[in-house]
Each structure stands twice: as C-alpha cells, then as structure tokens.
Amino acid sequence: MTSLLSVTSPSASLSVLHNALIVGAILFTLGLVGILTRRNLIVMFLSAELMLQGISVSLVAWSRYHGDYGGHVLVIFILAVAACEAAVALVFVLQAFGRTGRLDASAWQSLRESNLSRVVDRELPASDTVPPLWPTLAPAGVLPKADENEPLQREHV
C-alpha cells in the first residue's frame, strides 16, 4: 500500500502529474460539451459540477507535485461554493419550472436578443415514444385496490 501511494522518483512524480492533468482535462471538456448541448436545466447544472470535478483533480495533482496543501485548500473551497451554487440554482430551477412547467432551457428563449432567430425543435418521430418496459414479477399477496381514475405510474423514469 505504501508503494502504491508514495512515488519516490521525480520522473514518476511528473508522470502522476501528467496523467492526473489529462484526466482533469477530459472531465472538464466533457462537462463543457454537456453544458453546451443539453437542454434540461438540471443536466446542465450536473455538467457544471462535472467541470468543477475536473478542476479539483487538476488542483490536487498540482498540490501533490509541489508538495504543499494549497490545492487541497482550494478544493475545499470549491466544495463549499458548489454547495452554495447548487442550493441557489436549484431554487431558481424550481421557480422556472413552476412558471413554464418545463425544465427546458429553450422555454426561456423569449429573453434572447432581438437579432437572434428562434430555436425550433425538429419534429420528433412518433415511433420514438417506445412503450414502457416494466419488469415482470411473480404475483404474490393480495392485489391492492387501485383507483382507476388516478395514474399510479409514470411511463418513464
């Protein structure tokens, strides 16, 4: 275990730094692509958190390379600021959902600049709405009385 976590030679330390920085760069880029492409507000915030994770990995790698605790301290601050950001942002997402009934970022495109064109969804093919696939369970116990007027299940998760 000691040999796993303590790298002795300087070149090995540099290799650890290189590999960890590559991982951090990949995470950051994936988060960037996610926040650019996805339309669901919550998935956009998840992508932002992904970018923060990439930054955390890079900071800790630099901290290990230099042998001090500066990167660790910054990552702790990132954790705290991410918690604040998630709390405030999710409140705004809930308010936005309450006004439009959708979690769609394009639902707010009336706020765009006047010289930009409107985003129009391409028509989704009807065959895309696949029927829900529920697991089949062996019947056991008494069938509960259900109110037929009330839908019990969502079609999808």
Q: Please, which residue, 1 or 143, has the CB nearer to another protein?
A: 1
Upper half-sphere CA count for residue 50 (Cβ side, 13 Å):
19
In the complex with another protein, which residue's Cβ is closer, 4 or 138?
4
Instruction: Give the nearest distance from C-beta 136 to another protein in angstroms.
Output: 21
Q: Identify the DSSP state of 9.
A: S
Contact between 15 and 28 under an 8 Å Cβ cutoff? The reply is no
Provide the minimum distance between the beta carbon of 44 and another protein in the complex, in angstroms, as a whole number: 10
Beta-carbon count within 10 A of 71 CB: 19
* Nearest Cα to Cα of residue 31 among 46, 45, 51, 55: 51
Nearer to another protein, 34 or 142 (CB): 34
If the CB atoms of residues 30 and 141 are measured against another protein, the closer one turns out to be: 30
CB of 137 to another protein, least distance (A): 21
CA distance linking residue 108 with residue 28, whole number of Å: 26
- Closest distance of CB 76 from another protein, Å: 7
